[in-house]
């Protein structure tokens, strides 16, 4: 996701698999009894009335990820110098077993992360996500219910996830817990997290320690993935005129060094407590004026593939970031013809090839953002996956049916596209394996 901040526009919640009406009513009653809506329903919008991804230094590296399905090769000692392939890793064997047991519809469902209101889950939207086997959800809006009630809600969602050979395909649960005006979950058990600018003023050791505590709170609530940290560098001269980041103090600072060290510290603290993070919004929203949530044709005319603003992303990838969120702006000096999320140059070349990112590429919201309104839901999904993306984030569950149908149709028609989908599903399953969401015997 690039955690984008939007004008207070209510987002409808979305959900998971087969949550029955009785379960939904029970979960909703529990949530509503202890949750209050404190701002826009869009989890990624600020609490205020405004709109709505490193020099590792002392922060330390993140645990390395397992590259899905990638066996290691060793050179033989025989005179022929032939190479032999080592057996697959346990992680690869596990994810392959799940993958092989899935139907096409289940595989396509793994490509989606659908929005679900953290305070008021919507039964119809839950049903849409259930019917399309959606494998990940994002808790959206504002909930002050606290960790216990949130965990009860999440456990209800998890209990309805798809199964393969009698084992559940673990549901991945994410939210937007940056701090400041972007904090979905609050209440008993959750700390009030300060803004990115405040976090950026702390020593990196302090931030890492505090981030580890925030991650423990999310873990207690059943959250696997935080759509943070913000790795965007907003120049001091632009400041609050930068609508998506600077106007909400979401950046860690105004130099690549500060953002690099502190985004890395945040991510390292979360990894220490077993919660995954997402670098956003690649290749950076620090140089733009407009906000892609509420504006079309947002263009960065400054950033190049060699700009210092990409340093936090390079460092975070080296440190082992499992997710990178791609923005919906256009980067005139990188690929002037496509939004970043639809650009093979941005994703396939710059992020994958040049930076060597092997993890999950997630889109910024492709359901409600004004930046993609000129594209049909089907076009949004196909453009993103064709460019090299893996996971489609949509806060509008109503877009999922058309997106999923378009993907299945293209898979039948195009073998190379089908191979891309298969690779993406393997990456997503590998991330779920790393998060302990797959049962591997």
Domain segments of the chain: what residues?
21-64+104-434
Residue 164 pairs with which residues in a beta bridge? 167
pTM: 0.83
In this structure, what are the phi and psi dihedrals at residue 331, rounded to the nearest 5 degrees?
-110, 100
Note the pLDDT of residue 14: 36
Distance CA 150, CA 319 (A): 30
Q: Which residue has the tokens 């995954």?
A: 276
Distances (CA, A) of 360 to 111, 249, 353, 398: 10, 27, 14, 24
| Per-residue pLDDT of the chain in tens (441 residues, 90 and over written 9) | 444 444 444 343 333 333 333 334 334 444 443 333 333 333 333 333 233 333 333 344 443 333 333 333 333 333 333 444 556 677 778 999 999 999 999 999 999 999 999 999 999 999 999 999 999 999 999 999 999 999 999 999 999 899 998 999 999 999 999 999 999 999 999 999 999 999 999 999 999 999 999 999 999 999 999 999 999 999 999 999 999 999 999 999 999 999 999 999 999 999 999 999 999 999 999 999 999 999 999 999 999 999 999 999 999 999 999 999 999 999 999 999 999 999 999 999 999 999 999 999 999 999 999 999 999 999 999 999 999 999 999 999 999 999 999 999 999 999 999 999 999 999 999 999 999 999 887
The answer to whether the CB of 315 falls within 8 A of the CB of 55 is yes
Check residue 308 and give left, alpha or beta (phi > 0: left; psi -120 to 50: alpha). Answer: alpha
SS3 339: strand
Note the pLDDT of residue 343: 98
Distance CA 214, CA 249 (A): 19
In this structure, the number of other CB atoms found within 10 A of the CB of residue 255 comes to 17
Check residue 153 and give left, alpha or beta (phi > 0: left; psi -120 to 50: alpha). Answer: alpha
Q: Compute the radius of gyration of the chain from its Cα atoms.
A: 20
Note the pLDDT of residue 440: 83
CATH architecture assignment, domain 21-64+104-434: Alpha-Beta Barrel (3.20)
The answer to whether the CB of 427 falls within 8 A of the CB of 360 is yes
Q: Report residue 418 as tokens.
A: 């089908």
């Amino acid at each position: 996701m690039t955690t984008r901040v939007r004008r207070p526009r209510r987002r409808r919640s979305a959900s998971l698999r087969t949550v029955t009406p009785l379960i939904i009513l029970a979960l909703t009653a529990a949530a509503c009894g202890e949750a209050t809506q404190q701002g826009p329903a869009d989890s990624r919008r600020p609490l205020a009335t405004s709109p709505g991804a490193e020099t590792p230094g002392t922060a330390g590296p993140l645990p390395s990820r397992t590259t899905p399905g990638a066996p290691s090769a060793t050179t033989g000692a025989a005179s022929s110098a032939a190479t032999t392939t080592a057996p697959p890793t346990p992680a690869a064997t596990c994810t392959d077993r799940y993958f092989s047991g899935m139907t096409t519809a289940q595989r396509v469902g793994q490509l989606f992360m659908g929005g679900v209101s953290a305070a008021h889950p919507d039964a119809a939207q839950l049903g849409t996500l259930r019917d399309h086997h959606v494998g990940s959800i994002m808790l959206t809006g504002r909930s002050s219910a606290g960790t216990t009630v949130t965990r009860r809600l999440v456990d209800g969602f998890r209990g309805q996830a798809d199964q393969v050979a009698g084992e559940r395909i673990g549901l991945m649960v994410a939210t937007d817990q940056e701090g400041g005006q972007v904090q979905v979950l609050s209440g008993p058990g959750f700390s009030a997290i300060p803004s990115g600018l405040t976090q950026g003023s702390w020593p990196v050791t302090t931030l890492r320690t505090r981030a580890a505590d925030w991650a423990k709170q999310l873990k207690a609530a059943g959250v696997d993935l935080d759509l943070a940290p913000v790795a965007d560098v907003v120049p001091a001269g632009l400041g609050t005129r930068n609508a998506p980041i600077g106007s909400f103090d979401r950046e860690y600072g105004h130099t690549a060094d500060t953002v690099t060290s502190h985004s890395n510290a945040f991510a390292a603290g979360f990894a220490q407590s077993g919660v995954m993070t997402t670098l956003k919004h690649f290749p950076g929203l620090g140089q733009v004026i407009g906000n892609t949530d509420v504006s079309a044709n947002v263009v960065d005319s400054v950033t190049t593939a060699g700009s210092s603003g990409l340093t936090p992303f390079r460092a975070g990838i080296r440190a082992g970031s499992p997710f990178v969120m791609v923005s919906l702006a256009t980067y005139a000096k990188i690929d002037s013809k496509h939004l970043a999320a639809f650009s093979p140059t941005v994703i396939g070349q710059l992020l994958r090839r040049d930076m060597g990112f092997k993890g999950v590429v997630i889109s910024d919201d492709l359901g409600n953002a004004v930046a993609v309104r000129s594209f049909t839901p089907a076009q949004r999904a196909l453009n993103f996956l064709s460019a090299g993306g893996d996971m489609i984030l949509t806060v509008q569950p109503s877009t999922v049916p058309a997106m999923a149908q378009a993907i299945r149709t293209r898979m039948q028609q195009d073998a190379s596209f089908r191979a891309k989908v298969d690779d993406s599903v393997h990456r997503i399953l590998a991330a779920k394996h790393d998060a302990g969401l797959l049962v591997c015997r």
